[in-house]
Amino acid sequence: MKNIFSKTTLWGLAFFLMAGGLLATAWGEVTYDPDTFTYSGSGTWSETIMITDPTTFHFLDAKTATFSGAITGNNSVTKTGYGNWVISSTETVLNNAVTIDAGTVTLNAQRSLKAFRGTVTVNAGATLVSGSKDAFGYTATTDPTTFYLNGGTLHKTVGENETLGSVDIYFTGGTMSADTGQYDILRSDVRFFVRAAEDATAEAPTVSTVSAPLVLRNDIANGFSVDVSANAHLNITGGISANIITATSTYPTLIKTGVGILTLANTGSAGIEIQAGTANLTGTSSGAISIASGATANLSGASSGAISIALGGTAYLTAANSGSITVASGGTVYLQSTGHAQLDISGTANVGRSGWDRLMADKGVIHIRDGGVLNLNMLDSMGYGAGHSTTVNIYQGGRMINTTSNDSFRNMTFNLYGGTIDSNTGRYDILDTLNFNILPAEGATETTVSTVKGTWNFRTDTFSSDGILSLNVAENAELRWDGMFQENGMATPTNPGRGTFVKSGEGILRLTNAGNTASQPVMVEAGTLIVENNALAKTSHLTITQNATLDPTTAGTSLEGNYTLGGRQNLYFDGDGFNPFEVTGTIEILDTAEFFLISENPLDYQLFLDESFTVMGVTKTDEMPDMIPILFDPEIFNMPDLRLWAVWNDTGTALVTQGGLPEPSTWLLFTLGLGGLVWYRKKCSRG
């Protein structure tokens, strides 16, 4: 006799089952042979069953048989037929393989001694049900169970928790579901393995599903592992949350491995670590998310936790993130959403969201570090919207590039520590106040040079009558502005106001683009403005204040607008005898203006303000100072006692003589009409 059943009660009728015997009862027939127990009715077994050999329990009809007595044994059990086999004893322990080929097996014993301690296979069309709280074995800490869901289902029917511990679950088209309640991941020895059927392909993967909520305990030591193989897809639609057991514990983490696809709904405060393959996060998340080398994340749900993309990792963000986004060197992120709080880029960040939107949330921060690139790929992806106030920090080796279209800026701050901004084939529009702070790199021993390239457009339409570009260049820093300025760029500007270009700080601003067409006023409040390639030709009004220096370095430099002179003017003489700076318009001279003559041999030159410079007809008035100081730079020529002065005479011309420094003059304002102010080199004999 292969199966030993002690006293058994069927609807109150006691009997003993014998080998080959047949017993008819009021609820149906029970037929026993050496390998199979066949049942076709409804009833209750209350006595112990010990399985000594491999046995099949076959339930012919879609009815329910309840086994309330203990079931034990170390041999395999196979359940067949469409009936529901209910096991309700807390003492049931099956240590060998259990296979559910069809129908349902229901465990109704709350917090049992873990009914299954071997392998449990649930094939397609079959279901293993948790009909009570923690029926699969909450109290067991050893004797692992392995579930194989080969198209079959693990299901909960009551609103209680099912706590999993020491369990491996293999999905091959299988499902974990629940009417109500949740599955608790108790320890890090709970692992999911998702596998593909033999005929699966990347285009038609084997899809497994967890539709019930999963809860990760935050005392999981090493995280909850989900391994998804090639041509397989696990879809967790029920969401993941964290159960905070102790206040000092860290948040639990789901670790995704394998090259297949994992799709997650809401993840709450649980962390997500994507080590390989692809993960799709479709719901909200407040936990940290990391994407390792070779892994890809598609984040379409709003998140508030930190997101990090490692070398070789790729992330696609189509929803807002109110936490930080860190892109390591070699990592890539595609931002197709608005409202991010912080970007930290050492790899590549691509912005692909159009529609006059804002990449960052108000008061957001972007860090572009050495090797980092921020690519703006769509129209007005960065700062067109009202109330925008993003800060962009670009460090040495970092770049921001507008690759395809225009991007409009409002109320933004750029801090450059040796970084580069380039509009490439597109354009940057200045709509409202735009602040640049040019700073030395950390630990730099030489001047740190930052660079701005591309086309910059002073807009004069809807938002502001004066787009203001403020450039604060710190000491030991230089901004090389190779970019081109243009004005409006609108087919029909609605406001004819001009942009204002203001330079402050003790550092150097270098303008190099000969193609500038904008006529915005330029004011230099401090530091040095170096002008190359006639870059100021179209400027409507240039002001050099008392604390600033103008340094035009290229022959032929001219200004067609008005000029307010103050501070220091460096006058360079080239080999053809021309000073490189010419002014047409109204000139206002501040009483602290100084002119420094710079040439290889300054003693061979004189300066004249006379008819050669188209100032004929101008006569001295009481408002004009007697002398305009022209000073050598003693640091350059090592001649501290030599000073030159332009002295007006009665004919309205001026000669340069050597003399002492007078008292500061008063303001001078005179109009040259179409003429100009030019300093020519002339040979003289001293004696």
pLDDT tens digits, 504-542: 999 999 999 988 888 888 999 999 999 988 898 888 889
What band does 618 get if pLDDT is binned at 50, 70 and 90? Answer: very low
Per-residue confidence band for 319, with pLDDT thresholds at 50, 70 and 90: confident
Q: What angle do CA 465, 415, 570 make, to 5 degrees?
A: 80
Q: pLDDT digits over 222-235, tens only?
A: 788 999 999 999 99
The span from the CA of 36 to the CA of 33, in Å, is: 6
pLDDT of residue 646: 43
Given a cut of 70, whether residue 410 has pLDDT beyond it is: yes
> Across residues 492-505, what is the average pLDDT?
68
Q: Is the pLDDT of residue 70 over 70?
A: yes
pLDDT over 60 (residue 679): no
Is a pLDDT exceeding 80 seen at residue 49?
Answer: no
pLDDT at 19: 33
User: pTM to 2 decimals?
Assistant: 0.81
Dihedral, CA of residue 604, residue 605, residue 606 and residue 612, to nearest 10: 130
The mean per-residue pLDDT over the stretch 87-102 comes to 90
pLDDT at 38: 72
Confidence (pLDDT) at 21: 37
- Percentage of the residues of the chain whose pLDDT score is greater than 90: 37
- pLDDT tier for residue 687 given thresholds of 50, 70 and 90: very low
pLDDT digits (tens, 9 = 90+) for 126-173: 999 998 888 876 655 667 889 999 999 999 998 778 888 888 999 999
Is pLDDT above 80 for 328? Answer: yes
pLDDT above 80 (res 282):
yes
Closest to 17 measured CA to CA, from 26, 27, 34, 97: 34
Tokens of 633: 């730079």
Cα angle at 253 between 251 and 257, to 5 degrees?
A: 170
Nearest to 432 by CA among 500, 365, 496: 500
Question: Which residue has 């109320």 as its token pair?
Answer: 411
Has residue 476 got a pLDDT over 60?
yes
| Span 371-389, average pLDDT | 81
Q: How confident is the model at residue 449 (pLDDT cuts 50, 70, 90)?
A: very high
Query: At 359, is the pLDDT very low, low, confident or very high (cuts 50, 70, 90)?
Result: confident
Around Cβ 635, how many Cβ atoms within 10 Å?
8
Locate all alpha helices (DSSP H) within 45-93, ordered by sequence.
none
Which range has the worst mean pLDDT, 28-32, 153-157, 444-448? 28-32
pLDDT of 684 strictly over 50: no
Question: Do 123 and 103 meet the contact criterion of CB atoms below 8 Å apart?
Answer: no
Calpha distance 509→286 (Å, rounded): 44
User: What pLDDT band is residue 465 in, cutting at 50, 70 and 90?
Assistant: low
Q: Give whole-number Cα distances, 293 to 321, 330, 605, in Å.
A: 21, 9, 67
pLDDT of 636 reads 43
Coil vs helix vs strand at 591: coil
- What average pLDDT does the chain have? 77
Q: Which of 81-85, 390-394, 622-626 tops mean pLDDT?
A: 390-394
Give the range among 296-305, 322-331, 665-674 with minimum mean pLDDT.
665-674
The half-sphere exposure of 417 on its side-chain side, counting CA atoms within 13 A, is: 14
Structure tokens at 592: 């602290």
Whether the per-residue pLDDT at 11 is higher than 60: the answer is no
Q: What is the mean pLDDT of the segment spanning 372-392?
A: 82
Which pLDDT belongs to residue 392? 96
Task: Using alpha carbons, list the distances in angstroms from residue 576 to 457, 551, 630.
Answer: 36, 19, 21
> Helix, strand, coil proportions of the chain in percent (round to 5)?
0, 45, 50
Phi, psi of 374 (to 5 degrees): -110, 110
| CA end-to-end distance (rounded Å), the chain | 138
The band of 440, judged by pLDDT with boundaries at 50, 70 and 90, is very high
Checking if the pLDDT of 623 tops 60, the result is: no
pLDDT at position 366: 95
**Percentage of residues in the chain having pLDDT higher than 70:** 70
Beta strands 314-317 and 296-299, pairing class: parallel
Once rounded to an integer, what is the mean pLDDT over residues 471-482?
A: 97
Residue 356 has a pLDDT of 55
pLDDT mean over 386-401:
88
